[in-house]
Amino acid sequence: MPVTLIPRPQELTEGDGEGLTLTPRTRISATPGAEDSLAWLRRELGAATGFPFAPGTENDARIRLSVDPHAGLHPEGYRLIVDDAGALVVGHDPAGVFYGAQTLRQLLPADAYRQAPLGDTAWVLPALTITDAPRFRWRGAMLDIARHFQPKREILRFIDLLALHKLNVLHLHLSDDQGWRVEIRRYPELTRKGAWRTESQVGFSSPLVFDGRPHGGFLTQDDIREIVAHASARHITVVPEIDVPGHSQAAIHAYPELGEVGKIPVGTRWGIFDEVLGVTDNVLEFYKNVFDEIIELFPSTYVHVGGDECTKTQWKNSASAQKRIEEEGLADENELQSWFIRQLDAHLTARGRRLVGWDEILEGGLASGATVMSWRGEEGGIAAARAGHDVIMAPTATSYLDYKQSEDPDEPIPVGTLLRTKDVYTSETVPEKMTEKEAAHVLGAQVNVWTEHIDTPRRLDYMVFPRLTAFAEKVWSSGPRDYAEFEPRLREHLHRLDAIGVEYRPLDGPLPWHTRPGVQGWSR
């Protein structure tokens, strides 16, 4: 049976021997630095096979995991050798060992992804040698839990699915107009009042339709610590986002003094609104305190401050905003937004962190250390790289997994432009317009999962997979990409997702229970 791996490794040479058959007597060993991968592999393969996979020594283990920075591998890279003597995974670093262990699991039948043994599976690793390493160091997915909340158990599962695909960043969108989703001890009203709304808009019909059902939820600080630890054990960094100065209705509802017009409700509609944070010293102090608690919880070097879709109408009519513009010698409200972001950038920098924001943070000038996430096409990323900023590419046309997957009228709540699995796979991360020097600023890419219309874990599965699988290969694998070559491997990979229980969108189109008859979407 041919080897079908996703992402495609850099080098794969099939061997001549019979490989390694796993039995109840198979032992696993690990050198220092590989212990977490040993624990993970024992747990996952043990559940599927029923074998104990007892810890062994280098002399009696048939599966050996080793960290060796002198093995001639790239960062996060690994070498996997399977022959009659056993299976050896050597990683440049602990992350490389983990990715090698993920590949080892893919070499087994799809039942290796089940949580209990079926009793009739032959567990054979084919003889081969693989040498592999990622193309980009930022391989991410953004999950919006502000619009529709995903509880902790679903976030932990999502992390496991990212790890399966060798992705290494989970960007959590924690606040927006429609909800505040993380406990802040100093400001308890953010979750007591701001974590729920009275109802939610359904689709984009005219007139608007609402479901009449309260929606809410938030993560406690202990939940966050658990999520971060779970991700870290899988070599995934969790990047938090608190969106400012726009998209802040939930925060302003909880603390009306943060806004320009007093008390407002938590948002129930989707879109862009005029409500914006004030730019007073008190507002800045509030958010500096919020970010201080955020960086206690998230060890990520990067902290996301949003900065997108901030209308300036209220600032134009605000005495305090106009006074700030005059006092700081700013040209206009665009520069006022950049001034606001720079205050947070200085605060985070002083604490050893780096600010990242959506590409609007370029407007009106940007602090030198800030990283730009380019979402409004490629132009923001190109401009940021030319100005010497690091860039993460996430353009809507190829990265927004809430966008429709076909022109089939049965697609549930179709929004945006068409984004098929093939489109994700064949798109290029580094814009052609970039010079080699500019391209060096591209840290990588991510896909974004906005959840205005993703209100259940089942719908999350449908919108994310298999497009995330295509994205994972795009950001991991080097060399040309041919969808005709990829699709047969993808179809085999879907058997693994079946075994896990992922309710992905079938390649041939939605099934009857995927549809949302009568709920209108919107198109670009």
> Tens digit of pLDDT for each residue in 481-501?
999 999 999 999 999 999 999
Tokens of 372: 């730009």
Classify 151 as helix, strand or coil.
coil
> Beta-carbon neighbour count of residue 413 at 10 Å?
21
The yes-or-no answer on residue 247 being catalytic is yes
What's phi and psi for 351, nearest 5 deg?
A: -105, 15
For the chain, the maximum distance between any two Cα atoms, rounded to a whole number of angstroms, is 78
Strands, E assignment, 345-487: 354-358, 371-374, 391-393, 415-416, 442-449
Pair of tokens at residue 157: 């599962």
Q: What is the DSSP letter of 412?
A: S
Closest CA to 371 of 387, 386, 391: 391
Residue 324 and residue 321: Cα distance in Å, rounded? 5
Closest Cα partner for 345 from 321, 369, 361? 369
* pLDDT at residue 1, rounded to an integer: 63
Residues in the chain: 524
Neighbouring C-beta atoms of residue 377, cutoff 10 Å: 15
CA distances from 380 to 375, 390, 471 (A): 7, 11, 21
User: In which residue ranges of the chain is pLDDT below 70?
Assistant: 1, 367
3-state helix, strand, coil split of the chain in percent (to 5) is 35, 20, 45
Whole-angstrom distance, CA of residue 228 vs CA of residue 93: 20
CA–CA separation, 291 and 186 (whole Å): 11
Compute the distance between CA of residue 252 and CA of residue 250 in angstroms, rounded to an integer. 5
What's the pLDDT at 363? 81
* Alpha-carbon distance values, 147 to 68, 111, 217, 250, 522 (Å): 44, 35, 11, 11, 17
Is 174:239 a contact under the CB 8 Å cutoff?
Answer: no
**Catalytic residue chosen out of the listed positions 176, 333, 360, 390:** 176
Q: Take residue 51 and report the two structure tokens written for it.
A: 């074998």
Residue 441 designated active-site: no
Burial class (CB in 10 A: 0-12, 13-18, 19+), 272: exposed
Find where tokens 């791996």 sit: 5
Q: Are strands 128-132 and 78-83 parallel, antiparallel or unpaired?
A: antiparallel
Q: Catalytic site residue 148?
A: no
Which of 247, 304, 389, 453 is an active site residue? 247
Reported as type and span, the H/E element at residue 21 is: strand 20-21
Structure tokens at 132: 């592999």
Single pTM value for the model: 0.97
The structure tokens listed for 235 are 């070599």
DSSP secondary structure of 273-301: -S--B--SHHHHHHHHHHHHHHHHH---S
DSSP 436: H
Q: Which residue is catalytic, options 309, 335, 423, 487?
A: 309
| pLDDT score recorded for residue 193 | 98
Q: How far is CA 224 from the centre of its chain?
A: 15
